[in-house]
Amino acid sequence: MKFAILGNTYQTKKSVHLESLLTLLKKYNAEIYIYNDFYKFIVSSTKIPLDNVRTFTVLDFSVDMIICMGGDGTFLKAASFVGNRNIPILGINTGRLGFLADISPNEIQDTIKDIFSNNYRIEERSVLNLVCQDKTIKGYPFGLNEIAVLKRDSSSMITIHTSINGNYLTTYQADGLVISTPTGSTAYSLSVGGPIIVPHSSTIAITPVAPHSLNVRPIVINDDWEITLDVESRSHNFLVAIDGRSETCAEGSQLKIKKADYTIKVVKRTDHVFFNTLRDKMMWGADGRV
C-alpha cells in the first residue's frame, strides 16, 4: 500500500508517535510519502530515521490513503489536499480535541494492523462549495466543516440578506453567519449555539453569530438546497472564512453556497461511534450530580 503523510509542524515533543507509525508502515512494506514541509520539520527538529521515504509538495500521484498527524486543523488541511480525488484520510490525534482526527496515539499499532487486514470502514462526509459572484475566491473554495461570513475592520454588525433556493429566508443583523456541514456542526457552529448534527444526516445548519435579536435561531435545511447571501457592511467589506482560511470580500459581493459534487472519505475504526466521541471528547450528556 502507498501512504502520504501530513503532520503538524509545531509538535516536536510528540514526534515519537510519528516514529512508531513509520516503523509499523515499514514493517508492512508500505510505500511512504511525506509532505515536504513536514519532512523538513522532522529533519530539523528530530532524529527520526527517514530512509526509503519520499517527499511531495503537490498530491499529483495516486496513494491508497492519507495519514495526518495533528489535530482537526491538520485533518482539514489534508482534506483540502485530497479534494475530489476520493483518497481516504486517517487522522491520528496528537492535538487537543480530535473529532475528525480521532485515532489516539495508543491506537496506532492496532489501527495500522486493521488497515492491512481490511478491518475498517469509510465514512463519506459532505463538503460545501462557495461561489462569489463578483470575484474568484483566491484559496480553496470548498469547506469540510463550514463557510462563515464575518464582520471585519469594524465593531458594527453586518447585515446578511439570506435566501434559500431563490426564496427569501430572513435578514440577519449579526457579527456573522456560519453555514456548516454535519461534520462541522461540532466545530465553529457549535461554539456559537448551533445544533449537533449526526454526520450522515444530509443537512446544512445556518447559525448566526451574536445576532441582535432574541427570535433568530439556528435553522437546519436539506443539503441539496442552495443558499444565497447578500452582505452589507459599514466598513464596505467583510470576511469569508472557509474551514478557518479567510479572505476579504467587498460589500455587494453575492455569495452562493451549496453542497459540492464530491465527498471526503474518512477512515474510521469499526468500534468508533459518533455518540461515543460526543461523550468522550465533548463531555456531552455528562451529569455533575452523578
pLDDT digits (tens, 9 = 90+) for 162-213: 999 999 999 999 999 999 999 999 999 999 999 999 999 999 999 999 999 9
Q: What is the mean pLDDT of the chain?
A: 92
CATH number of the domain to which 204 belongs: 2.60.200.30
Question: What's the confidence (pLDDT) of residue 96?
Answer: 77
Q: Does 80 share its domain with 131?
A: no
Provide the residue range defining the domain that includes 35: 2-120+269-282
Is 226 a domain residue?
Answer: yes
Is residue 290, in this structure, part of any structural domain at all?
no
Asked, for residue 16, whether it belongs to a domain, the answer is: yes
Q: Are residues 53 and 146 in the same domain?
A: no
Neighbouring-strand partners of residue 208: 177
Kindly state whether residues 161 and 93 are assigned to the same domain: no
**Residue 12 contacts residue 94 (beta carbons within 8 Å):** no
Mean pLDDT calculated for residue range 29-46: 92
pLDDT at residue 56, rounded to an integer: 94
Q: What percent of the chain has pLDDT over 90?
A: 70
Regarding whether 258 and 158 lie in a shared domain, the answer is: yes
pLDDT the model gives residue 149: 97
> What is the reported pLDDT for 272?
87
Q: Is the pLDDT of residue 135 over 80?
A: no
- The pLDDT confidence band at residue 98, using thresholds 50, 70 and 90, is confident
- Verify that 43 and 58 share a domain, yes or no: yes
**pTM score:** 0.92
240 lies in a domain?
Answer: yes
Query: Quick check: is 72 catalytic?
Result: yes
Question: Which of these is catalytic: 51, 64, 72, 261?
Answer: 72
> Based on the domain organization, do 135 and 214 belong to the same domain?
yes
Q: Within a domain: residue 288?
A: no
Residues 137 and 21 both lie in one domain: no
